[in-house]
């Protein structure tokens, strides 16, 4: 398969970027999402929606979203509410804490009926994304894969494998033929390769340091 376009976001006040495809800001804003829905999204959710609108302007591609932790802060808030006898659990807050919440909000905004999939793979999310994408590309010309994760909530500062900053990256993938100059791709090994080698990352045109 071929990487045809990508966009990324990171919440950092100390880094800068010279690549227009990368957005570094602590307060991303998904202008395409109506204000009433947008205010319910976390910064990661807004960043993800913004990336998806950019990579899929027609809203007609299947999307696979993977996240190691999801929105842990919302889950912790729900657990805190459950310990307070006078505080009722919020159905709206619960609906935004589930693993497919971001894709749900995006599909409502886009009125999309394309396949949407949310994954968690105990740290192997990128491998899972590539495996699922290969399956989709067996029947479709293009698919979008999205990975996001949050920084550790205060309660988990010293527990779990969280990134230093919240971040997200979206990639538009297409079938690998014909490989254009400068395109990156993932391909299966040739028939003579060992059966245990699995699929491997490859480059065409020297666009990445393989």
Per-residue model confidence as pLDDT tens digits over 96-138: 777 788 999 999 999 888 999 999 888 888 999 999 999 999 9
Give the chain's radius of gyration (CA, Å): 19
pLDDT at 194: 32
Looking up tokens 């309660």 gives 155
What's the pLDDT at 4?
Answer: 94
| Averaged pLDDT score across all residues of the chain | 78
pLDDT of residue 41: 87
Task: Flag whether pLDDT at 27 surpasses 80.
Answer: yes
pLDDT at 159: 66
Nearest Cα to Cα of residue 43 among 66, 90, 9? 9
pLDDT at 160: 65
**This prediction's pTM:** 0.74
Look at residue 64 in the predicted model and tell me its pLDDT: 97
What residues contact 80, with CB distance under 8 A and at least 6 apart?
none
Give pLDDT, residue 124: 87
What is the average pLDDT across 169-186?
A: 72
Per-residue pLDDT at 202: 29
Give 31-55 pLDDT, tens digit per residue. 999 998 888 888 899 999 999 999 9
- pLDDT for 60 equals 92
What's the confidence (pLDDT) of residue 72?
Answer: 65
Task: Show Cβ contacts of residue 145 under 8 Å, excluding neighbours closer than 6 positions.
Answer: 63, 64, 65, 66, 129, 130, 132, 133, 170, 171, 173
pLDDT on residue 54? 95
């Amino acid at each position: 398969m071929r990487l045809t376009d990508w966009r990324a976001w990171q919440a950092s006040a100390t880094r800068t970027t010279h690549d227009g495809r990368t957005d570094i800001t602590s307060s991303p804003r998904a202008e395409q999402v109506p204000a009433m829905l947008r205010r319910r999204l976390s910064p990661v959710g807004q960043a993800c929606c913004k990336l998806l609108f950019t990579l899929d302007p027609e809203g007609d591609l299947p999307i696979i979203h993977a996240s190691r932790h999801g929105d842990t802060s919302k889950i912790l808030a729900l657990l805190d509410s459950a310990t307070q006898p006078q505080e009722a659990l919020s159905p709206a807050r619960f609906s935004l804490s589930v693993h497919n919440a971001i894709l749900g909000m995006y599909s409502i905004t886009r009125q999309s009926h394309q396949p949407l999939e949310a994954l968690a793979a105990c740290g192997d999310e990128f491998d899972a994304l590539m495996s699922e994408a290969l399956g989709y590309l067996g029947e479709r010309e293009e698919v979008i894969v999205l990975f996001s994760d949050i920084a550790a909530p205060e309660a988990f500062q010293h527990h779990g494998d969280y990134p230093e900053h919240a971040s997200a990256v979206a990639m538009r993938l297409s079938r690998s033929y014909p490989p254009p100059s400068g395109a990156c791709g993932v391909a299966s090994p040739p028939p003579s390769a060992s059966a245990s080698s699995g699929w491997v990352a490859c480059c065409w045109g020297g666009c990445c340091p393989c």
